[in-house]
Amino acid sequence: MRRHRLDLAALGLGLAALGLVACADEPALPRLHAEGRDLVDAEGRRVTLRGVNLGGWLFHETWITLVGHDAASRAYLEGEKQGIQAAVLAAFRDLLGGAQGFDTCGASGAAFLDPFEAALAAHLDAARAAAFRQHLEGFASTCDDSELPIRRTLEARFGQAGRDALLDAFLGAWIQERDIAWLAEQGFNLVRVPMGYRSLTRASDLADPTELVLNQDALRRVDRLLSWCRKHGVYAVLDIQEAPGGQNTYAGPARLFTEERFQRLTVQLWESLSDRYRERDEVAAYSLLAEPYGAPDTTARDDMYALLVDAIRARGDDHLLVIHDGFFFMTSLPAPAARGWDGVLYSTHLFETASSLEGYQGLVRDFYTPIFQQAQAAQEVPYFIGSFSTREDEDWAYQAAGFLVDWYEENGWSWALWTYKTMEDTLFTRDLGLTSAWGLRNRLAAGRTFERPDLELDDRATLTRRLEAYRDLELEPNQPLLDQLTRFPGPRASP
């Protein structure tokens, strides 16, 4: 994230002058460290981190925020314009009832358009269905892991400066101090902050960067977030959701593990973050590489982690470092001493699905518990379930979420729900009757309205207004989920 070398001392003074560094009269959170399998504070008191992910903020997934359109919502919107919305909805219902189901995230390209055209032809003539399909091919689709397509679309329309100004308008609106205050009021003491490297830089070559130029506006948003965390007694885990080259396949093949230039850029990224946040005690940990499942094997995964651990420790930074298993299983992670690692926190994400509470109970009893117990006994490090959800908007699924949290608590593991808040798409909730439990806050308050930003068709003024309007949205808590996650005494880590 550096062109060559940053004058970080000067940068720190500039931030202090702007009031972006935590003030001396704000209550300090104690620096956390690892002691065997436990997280402890400076006085040696055991701490369990309990919280949520700030999904969709510094790494875009438009199913969370409804910024932009996926293939399904675009078909719905264009169908309304062409007077065939009833046929589009009928095709969706047919797909929902079919053997292959219906991807409500709107799989792009032929994966969505082929079955959709066939279903639509049953409600229109084949020629009209084919013409509508051809019309839809002119639009991009953004849903999961949409950082790259969003930035490409905005840069193509408004240039690099316009792109960054629009995205900054969203960053200033989606997460505010009142969000951190509300989480603290509910008893949570952690936010995990997924960040894509593209959000933290101003690269114009979005797919294949050769250097990282820091986006100071985005980093100042992180600075403000940390000041709010300090003020309200909430820790933050800073997480790189996507590194240069990709540690996973979010935006194409994972190239981080095979190309030295991307490894160098990723080391530079973490050096810059370490230099900026080394003294921030409200940062509980750095999550170095989220979900590095693109590694060809565990040796490549661990070699990359070793580069990052060494770079951060060389800067005198003793923050906890989150090492994710990359879904190779927790037993695949080495004993820290074997790698010369200190102050590490081992992690995975749990998104396996079951269709009942009993299904989750059996999965934990018969599969996860033996694996996790064997692994942690050998490693003697704290564990962190960095993301999890039981997804379904059903009583049994909320009970399953509570069961999972009980399991984490019994073992002394920290945890973070995916995700804090989501916007429900009326296509799926009102017209198709589909709901989910992804967001801890996910229902627009009664009487509130929402205008979805259209990244391809809205002019810049309209986009700016619609992105800034997220500041005024009021999302109601998903109370059954909230009740399951806040049953534990004294979750605040501060004494």
pLDDT digits (tens, 9 = 90+) for 400-410: 999 999 999 99
Tokens representing 474?
A: 């009021």
Residue 465, amino acid: R
The pLDDT-based confidence of 102 (bands split at 50, 70, 90) is confident
Distance CA 475, CA 443 (A): 5
Only one residue has tokens 């699924």, namely 397
End-to-end CA gap in the chain: 37
Confidence of residue 257 (pLDDT cuts 50, 70, 90): very high
Q: How far is it between the farthest Cα atoms of the chain? A: 73
| Cα dist from 1 to 126, 199, 202, 262, whole Å | 51, 11, 9, 11
Q: Is 463 helix (H, G, I), strand (E, B) or coil?
A: helix
Separation of alpha carbons 422 and 439, rounded Å: 5
Reduced to 3 states (helix: H, G, I; strand: E, B; else coil), residue 231 is helix
Domains and CATH numbers, the chain: 8-66+145-485 (3.20.20.80), 71-136 (no CATH)
Q: Where is average pLDDT lowest: 93-107, 287-301, 465-479?
A: 93-107
pLDDT value for 24: 45
DSSP-assigned states of every residue in 245-262: T-SSSTTSS--TTT-HHH
Helix (H, G, I), strand (E, B) or coil at 392: coil
pLDDT band at 141 (very low <50, low <70, confident <90, very high): confident
Section 29-53 average pLDDT: 97
Higher pLDDT, 32 or 141: 32
Ramachandran category for residue 429: left, alpha or beta (phi over 0 → left; psi -120 to 50 → alpha): alpha
Tallying the residues shown for the chain, one arrives at 495
Percent of the chain with pLDDT over 90: 79
Cα–Cα distance measured from residue 28 to residue 378, given in angstroms and rounded to the nearest whole number: 34
H/E stretch holding 377 reads helix 369-379
pLDDT score, position 22: 41
Instruction: Please state, as a whole number, how many other Cβ atoms lie within 10 Å of the Cβ of residue 78.
Output: 18
What band does 314 get if pLDDT is binned at 50, 70 and 90?
A: very high
pLDDT, position 107:
67
What is d(CA 260, CA 340) in angstroms, rounded to the nearest whole number? 22
Q: What is the pLDDT of residues 163-219, one digit of tens each?
A: 999 999 999 999 999 999 999 999 999 999 999 999 999 876 777 888 889 999 999
* pLDDT, position 27: 65
- Judged against a pLDDT cut of 70, whether residue 60 lies above it is answered with yes
Residue 79: CA count within 13 A, CB half-sphere: 23
Burial degree of 29 (CB within 10 A; 0-12, 13-18, 19+): buried
Question: Residue 401 and residue 395: Cα distance in Å, rounded?
Answer: 10
pLDDT at position 429? 86
Prediction pTM value = 0.92
Mean pLDDT of the chain: 91
CB 171 within 8 A of CB 219: no
pLDDT > 70: percent of the chain: 92
**CA 71, CA 87: separation in Å to the nearest integer?**
16
pLDDT value for 140? 86
Using the predicted structure, report yes or no on whether residue 455 has a pLDDT greater than 90: yes
Judge contact between 415 and 447, C-beta under 8 A: no
Coil, strand or helix at 319:
coil
Q: Which pLDDT value is given to residue 489?
A: 64
Amino acid at 204: S
